[in-house]
Structure 1
Amino acid sequence: MSDDDFSAPWYFDPRRPELAAYPSRLDSSLGEAELADRLVQIGEYQRRLWANRQRALLLVVHGPDASGKDSLIRTLATHVDPAGFHAWSFGRPTALEARHDFLWRTVSLLPALGEMVAFNRSYHEAVMAERLWPVRAPAHYDWPARHASIRHFERHLVQEGTTILKVWLHLSEDEQRRRLLKRLDQPRKRWKFDPSDVEAWRRRAEYRAVVAEAMAATHTEEAPWLIIPGDRKADARALVAGIVAQRLQALAPEYPPRDEAVLARYRGLLEGRD
């Protein structure tokens, strides 16, 4: 079965929105060699995307605390051309951001044609985390209207040339607990710990419920959600890398063509023949 097959178990199905219905671990590991091959493919096809400047790719990565969002994006960027790749992280809205509509803070950071951009969290936080931890007055929260705004926004982006992939890194309860404890225990990871991590852990059942509702309302054919088994980071990275590589290849399978006569003329100038 192809990573690009919408019947694959990691593609969200609105008919079974409960996150518990999706696996958090693959039956067998994909392997480091497979990941390495897919990262090389990403590097090549992202460079072709940048050379053509005709399409764009937006990768949106969500997941619970300690699900590996940062490390996934860092891994995917291993071979990319930095001129055509950017990554942005979105935390709790600032006071300025909260005074604007919920899409505002992401708009200027969307990919231009030719670019690949990764969002660590995104405008979807406004229908996920903000359900439990509001940042605006209650009058601003009309959840069905926000879901509709996201669908319309993403449809507009797709129509203008941006391909959208939305990833949820799905962790089991035990694995998330283990990783949060690791943040407390390891000095090099403690900087990432925030007391809100524990609050989110305590309310994980509520959070999963609102995430499932948001996914069901914003999953579309043009902007699908992928539920990626996240208990083994290497598998999650390889799976997402394969899907991203396939999308990039479809967007820019070749480098842009050039006029051979023009190239021959300049070759002659460089070689001193003209």
Structure 2
Amino acid sequence: MKLSDYKIPSGKNINLKDYKCSEGKKEDNDYIRENIIPPLVEKLKELHLKLHAEEKNGIMVVLQAIDAAGKDEAISYIFSNLNAQGLKVTTYGKPSETEEKHDYLWRLHDGEPERGQIAILNRSHYEDVIATRIHDLLEDGDAEIEKRYRQINNYEQYLSENGFSVVKFFFNMSKDEQKERFLERMKDPDKQWEFSFSDVEERKKWDDYQQVFEDMLNNTSTQHSPWYILPADDEWHTRRIITEAMIHVLKGIDPKFPEISGEDKKKLDEYIKGLENE
């Protein structure tokens, strides 16, 4: 598998329809889950532990998708395996009254990672160039969206230049697959809590969403903060891509366990000797 097949090249305009929602991997779900994912997660855990111990860099992970595309499941099955002390998850919904009194990026700061952390944004600042456009919430329309694209790119570059990598995943799900997932939720009493009537109402705007997603991806996939387009109909194949992309980012950071030296090393040796002689 080549990660470059899913990564949007910086400066290149793409057509979202050229990216598959499925690569026929659904039938391989069991094999991928049982044989491919576990060693990848172990590698991710190893690198994440070094990142957490070193406390020099952080990673902000953006998960963006239409309803039922699999963001929550990706968090549950992959990131929940990581060291909880070096992980934070923030879910962004409709802005609160307090948040609306600030600039649109203000509420994002609490979700940013500390050095040594991976911070996952379940939805994100990109809602401010998606939902605002779908529901026509901005007075200046297209001009305001163009300005926000620039501001978001600058913000993510600022994070990157200060030691915080930004990696973004777009879950590209088909309309038929969303229908099946909605029906599964609606018919299963144990899953009905996941369903919202507004989900079906938003589905009526499917074509509008696809156009907005494509424009967003083309304007905000940068060299420092790339987007990956995931074939979200294939659940476990999607989780594999996310895991491999995260490993790639961490290898680029190359975190290492801190080494004790100087006076601290001497003191450590003394304590070791003291305990051994008890």
Q: Hey, what does 2:19 align to over in structure 1?
A: 22
User: For the residues of structure 1 that align with 2:241 and 2:49, how far apart are their CA atoms?
Assistant: 21
User: For the residues of structure 2 that align with 1:167 and 1:22, how far apart are their CA atoms?
Assistant: 13
Q: Is contact 1:39-1:78 (8 Å) kept?
A: no
Instruction: Point out the structure with the larger helix share.
Output: 2
Deviation of residue 76 (structure 1)?
A: 1.7
User: For the residues of structure 1 that align with 2:24 and 2:194, how far apart are their CA atoms?
Assistant: 30
Deviation of residue 218 (structure 1)?
A: 1.0
- Unaligned runs of at least 5 residues, structure 1: none
Q: What TM-score do the two structures reach when normalised by structure 2?
A: 0.90
SS at match of 2:94: coil
Supply the AA of the counterpart residue of 1:85.
L
Deviation of residue 11 (structure 1)?
A: 1.2
* Match of residue 183, structure 1, among 152, 175, 185: 185
Deviation of residue 251 (structure 1)?
A: 2.1
Supply the AA of the counterpart residue of 1:12.
I
Residues 122-150 of structure 1: CA distance to partner in whole angstroms, max 9, x if unpaired? 0011001211125x562587111101110
Residues 64-93 of structure 1: CA distance to partner in whole angstroms, max 9, x if unpaired? 100010110111223211111011111111
Q: Hey, what does 1:11 align to over in structure 2?
A: 7
Q: Hey, what does 2:49 align to over in structure 1?
A: 47
Whether 1:162 and 2:158 are equivalent positions in the alignment is no
SS at match of 2:5: coil
Q: Hey, what does 1:272 align to over in structure 2?
A: 277
Q: Is contact 2:47-2:255 (8 Å) kept?
A: yes
Supply the AA of the counterpart residue of 2:49.
R
User: For the residues of structure 1 that align with 2:251 and 2:266, how far apart are their CA atoms?
Assistant: 28
Deviation of residue 27 (structure 1)?
A: 4.5
Q: Is contact 1:52-1:252 (8 Å) kept?
A: no
Distance of aligned partners of 1:192 and 1:133 in 2 relative to their CA distance in 1, 3 Å threshold: farther
Residues 7-39 of structure 1: CA distance to partner in whole angstroms, max 9, x if unpaired? x22112454433211011125447121111111
Whether 1:150 and 2:146 are equivalent positions in the alignment is no
User: For the residues of structure 1 that align with 2:138 and 2:128, how far apart are their CA atoms?
Assistant: 13
Q: What TM-score do the two structures reach when normalised by structure 1?
A: 0.91
Q: Is contact 1:18-1:209 (8 Å) kept?
A: no
Q: Is contact 1:50-1:84 (8 Å) kept?
A: yes
Distance of aligned partners of 1:261 and 1:2 in 2 relative to their CA distance in 1, 3 Å threshold: farther
Q: Percent identity?
A: 26
Q: Hey, what does 2:70 align to over in structure 1?
A: 68
Whether 1:233 and 2:235 are equivalent positions in the alignment is yes
User: For the residues of structure 1 that align with 2:172 and 2:85, how far apart are their CA atoms?
Assistant: 31
Which moved further from structure 2: 45-54 or 13-22? 13-22
SS at match of 2:201: helix
Q: Hey, what does 1:111 align to over in structure 2?
A: 113
Q: Is contact 1:19-1:212 (8 Å) kept?
A: yes
Which moved further from structure 2: 68-77 or 143-152? 68-77
1:180-259 aligned within 5 A? 180-259=182-261
SS at match of 1:209: helix
Deviation of residue 265 (structure 1)?
A: 2.2
Deviation of residue 157 (structure 1)?
A: 0.3
Supply the AA of the counterpart residue of 2:32.
G
Give me the CA root mean square deviation: 1.9
Which moved further from structure 2: 141-150 or 263-272? 263-272
Q: Is contact 1:9-1:22 (8 Å) kept?
A: no
Give the number of equivalent residue pairs.
Answer: 268
Residues 76-120 of structure 1: CA distance to partner in whole angstroms, max 9, x if unpaired? 223211111011111111122122111111112200111011110
* Match of residue 263, structure 1, among 258, 264, 268: 268
User: For the residues of structure 1 that align with 2:49 and 2:102, how far apart are their CA atoms?
Assistant: 35
1:58-137 aligned within 5 A? 58-134=60-136
Residues 140-168 of structure 1: CA distance to partner in whole angstroms, max 9, x if unpaired? 87111101110110000001100111000
User: For the residues of structure 1 that align with 2:270 and 2:32, how far apart are their CA atoms?
Assistant: 48
Supply the AA of the counterpart residue of 1:36.
P
